[in-house]
Structure 1
Amino acid sequence: MKDNKITILGLLFFLLCAALGGAVYYLGERLSELHSRADELQQQRVDLESTTQALIAQKSVFTNAFKELENYSVNVAPDEMAFYSGVQQVLQNNSVEILSTRQQGVNAEGVSAIAMTVRGEYYALMDVFAAWRNLPTTVRVSNLTLGADKPVGASAEASRGWIQADVTVEAIVAPKP
């Protein structure tokens, strides 16, 4: 009977050691899985934080843009002639030649447009665009096509730096009473 007790105790001890070994192995595997999952979640947290920061920055940009738009005012031309003469005066002041002009009148929304073909030095034309921004009337360039100018009968040296532009300029005109 003593041998049976020793055998049973030995068997129980072996089973206890095997159960502990199995538990240690299982818990080790489970721990490595949890570490792996924790690393994935940490990476997701970092990604989400950077995405959130980018979205906050974009929101700030949009908010500032809307604040600027709220402060933006459009200066309406008193009549078509004031608009046309202002646009043409800037061209003359910058020595840009007007080849043709097509006044398109005022549309249903109150926008007047003038389409022109002009010729002059490149930098003079760029100065014209800048000067139009300083007119008392808010103007918008709605169409612009630039190309090299080829004056008739002129040498290649004479046409260097000159360009020809088809440009359409628009402005809002005050309604007639």
Structure 2
Amino acid sequence: MRLTLWFIIFILIQSCAPPKVIKFLNSELDYSKYHTYRLINYKSDDKSYAADGMAFYNEIENGIKQNMRAKGYEPADRPDLIARYEIVSTTATETRNQNYDPYGYNYYIPPTTKKFTEGIVLIELRDRKEKKLVWQASLDLKYNMRGEAKLTLLQSINRIFETYPYQAGSNDQVPTEQ
């Protein structure tokens, strides 16, 4: 019984923890040769998106550019690295039945329905000349409102870039928070 209680507490603590960044870092490369990058996303080149959709992609791109600049990388037309991002998302609905009646009156309490968006943000860096994956990281997203989406997205991009330990032109790893 005691072991079961500790197991339940452990599961509850894990479910409250923020999503973990999943990452890959190619340790066989010479990171000192990377100084420039070019940001691409195939979907953001599609001009059929509404203004809100384009603003969404612009926010993502600004977050990535800000993080690349903070690491000393400069944008270029013929870059050392190709930075690519992808967002995969869907709208989900969660319905909760509220059948708790503390007074025993047996009255009907309608279920509550909550809509939210969940998805994955994926960012990768590739060596343009050698066509090798340099670094890749992803993070799960979950948010309820449009305003919350912007903040959640920027925080997620910053968390993802915390896992990339190199400054431009250096093979020395900067300690990361994860």
Q: TM-score, normalised by structure 2?
A: 0.16
Bigger-Rg structure (1/2) = 1
Query: Which structure: greater strand fraction?
Result: 2
Higher relative contact order (CA 8 A, sep 6+): 2
Query: Which structure: greater helix fraction?
Result: 1
Q: TM-score, normalised by structure 1?
A: 0.16
